C-alpha cells in the first residue's frame, strides 16, 4: 500500500547525472499517438 505524496510534483526524481551522460541524439521521440491501444 502506498500513500499519495503531500508534496507538489509527480514524486519522481530525475537523475541529471545520468541524463548528462546519455544525451538524446535522435530525431524523433519513441512515443507517438496511435488510434488503438498498444501493448497488453
Distance between CA atoms of residues 31 and 39, nearest Å: 13
What tens digit of pLDDT does each residue of 24-33 get? 888 876 677 7
Check if the beta carbon of residue 9 is closer than 8 Å to that of residue 3. no
Would you list the DSSP string of 1-40? -----SSSS-S----HHHHHHS----SS-S----SS----
Q: Over the stretch 3-40, which tens digit does the pLDDT of each residue have? A: 777 888 877 888 999 999 999 888 876 677 788 887 75
Amino acid at each position: 500500500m502506498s500513500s499519495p505524496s503531500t508534496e507538489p510534483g509527480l514524486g519522481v526524481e530525475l537523475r541529471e547525472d545520468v541524463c548528462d551522460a546519455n544525451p538524446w541524439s535522435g530525431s524523433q521521440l519513441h512515443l507517438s499517438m496511435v488510434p488503438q491501444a498498444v501493448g497488453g
